Structure 1
């Protein structure tokens, strides 16, 4: 059945690593897999891949309401979101690197949507960022690397993700388009005038010195029943692994005495509450 149609979608398997450089050194690496889905192949994946589907009775389920709100067609909703953020409408294919709903459970700290023009040229990446326990969601539109001025794309942080990171930071992205391999690196820098004396060190000499980074490096596998089942056997419920990992590392940071920063309550966000969504200041 899986031979009926050659799919471009894949399952990326690899690792994610977090490194914190100040005020204490803290780092960890986890193995992880994430489906990379051409949204125009969803129906075909539903037919060909056992264990994956759009309906309730699938171990790995794509549920439309878990992702960007708006148009019932997720690809169109992603294009509309990028248009709202940038004023540019991208007309080609949309792919997504995401977590699915496993055994009915879903949480994804980061989903990435790749938008292409009608010639297949990658134009934008939409980063869908979610936090816990606040259950909020925020979006960043990142132009494809050919439009960058240098080796990375930088912008101010606008969304509270971790209580161990303040809001006054900058993000620096380095990304590749999903192909046979995938790389996503997000470095976080903090303005020097926002660093307390107790945190200052020789490593923070510059006004925008890196204090944290997250890297995801993965290799593509075919999106087949056998490979999906293999990944599910290795990690039956990825959602639980992700959430437990977040809180376990948070406990370690708390024990190490890393300062805690309150939620600023001043950023645009989407409030996610089961099947409903409450909009914050702007949603953009």
Structure 2
């Protein structure tokens, strides 16, 4: 695809419908990059966008690409150098929190092969879902990772993850017996990567990923004070978890 790297000024919305309706909205920005050609900003702006291997997968890979290839190889998939496009938050001023990072993976001839959805929770854990979307970009996967303290680890996700072009339009639905209690959407518009655009977005959304993490925790406290029951974690979170 053309237009990579790119910036997306976007709105993230979480809608909870059970046992009552509750909505969280947050504006931020995300990067769409080729994992083999990560952007490098002018030196004064580099603290505003770093892409570190420690922030993805097991955290100890020599590069994001190497860590992704190792994850896929463990599931019998080889891309043989095919292109991988990643949507993510960059590390800003030393901090990053990525609720969802997506990797669109292609064979050497450019044929779409799979999508990897890497989920981070606020406890410090990570988990990757290997997905095979249909032509509309929709995929389904059983839930296998503790994210919200207000939902147990059951049900499944239905995700619509088309590769972003001019517009970013993603959705993730949690479906459980009896309904769809949670939906997250990410929508935004593409902007070219320029020093001015990066600086403008960083000033408009200072400490952007820290703000996302803080907002999630704040809304969690509000839900808890309203009496929403908490489901204890059953999985460790000190070490990244990458089982499919």
Secondary structure in 2 matching 1:29: strand
Structure 2: which 5+ residue stretches go unaligned?
none
- Structure 1 stretch displaced more, 166-175 or 113-122: 113-122
Q: Using the TM superposition, give the Cα deviation of residue 130 of structure 1 relative to its aligned residue in structure 2, in angstroms.
A: 1.1
1:260-275 mapped onto 2 (5 Å cutoff):
260-265=230-235, 271=238
Partner of 2:79: 90
Q: Is the 1:79–1:115 contact (alpha carbons within 8 Å) kept by the matching residues of 2?
A: no
Q: Is the 2:150–2:229 contact (alpha carbons within 8 Å) kept by the matching residues of 1?
A: yes
Structure 1: which 5+ residue stretches go unaligned?
1-5, 53-57, 192-203, 272-277
**Cα distance between partner residues in 1 of 2:188 and 2:240:** 34
Aligned pair 1:29/2:25, yes or no? yes
Aligned pair 1:73/2:63, yes or no? yes
Q: Is the 1:15–1:216 contact (alpha carbons within 8 Å) kept by the matching residues of 2?
A: yes
Aligned pair 1:171/2:163, yes or no? no
Secondary structure in 1 matching 2:232: coil
Q: Is the 1:187–1:214 contact (alpha carbons within 8 Å) kept by the matching residues of 2?
A: yes
Quick one: which of 74, 96, 99 aligns to 1:106? 96
Q: State which structure, 1 or 2, has the greater radius of gyration over its C-alpha atoms.
A: 1
Secondary structure in 2 matching 1:188: strand
TM-score, with structure 2 as normaliser: 0.89
Partner of 2:13: 17
**Cα distance between partner residues in 1 of 2:48 and 2:138:** 37
Aligned pair 1:159/2:145, yes or no? yes
TM-score, with structure 1 as normaliser: 0.78
RMSD value, Cα: 2.2
**Cα distance between partner residues in 1 of 2:44 and 2:190:** 19
**Cα distance between partner residues in 1 of 2:232 and 2:4:** 43
**Cα distance between partner residues in 1 of 2:55 and 2:63:** 13
Aligned residues: 241
- Gap change, CA 1:219 and 1:49, over 3 Å in 2: farther
Q: Using the TM superposition, give the Cα deviation of residue 59 of structure 1 relative to its aligned residue in structure 2, in angstroms.
A: 2.9
**Cα distance between partner residues in 2 of 1:49 and 1:11:** 19
Q: Is the 2:57–2:126 contact (alpha carbons within 8 Å) kept by the matching residues of 1?
A: no
1:226-265 mapped onto 2 (5 Å cutoff):
226-265=196-235
1:83-232 mapped onto 2 (5 Å cutoff):
83-85=73-75, 87-91=76-80, 92-133=82-123, 135-146=124-135, 152-191=138-177, 204=178, 209-232=179-202
- Gap change, CA 1:50 and 1:124, over 3 Å in 2: farther
Q: Using the TM superposition, give the Cα deviation of residue 257 of structure 1 relative to its aligned residue in structure 2, in angstroms.
A: 1.6
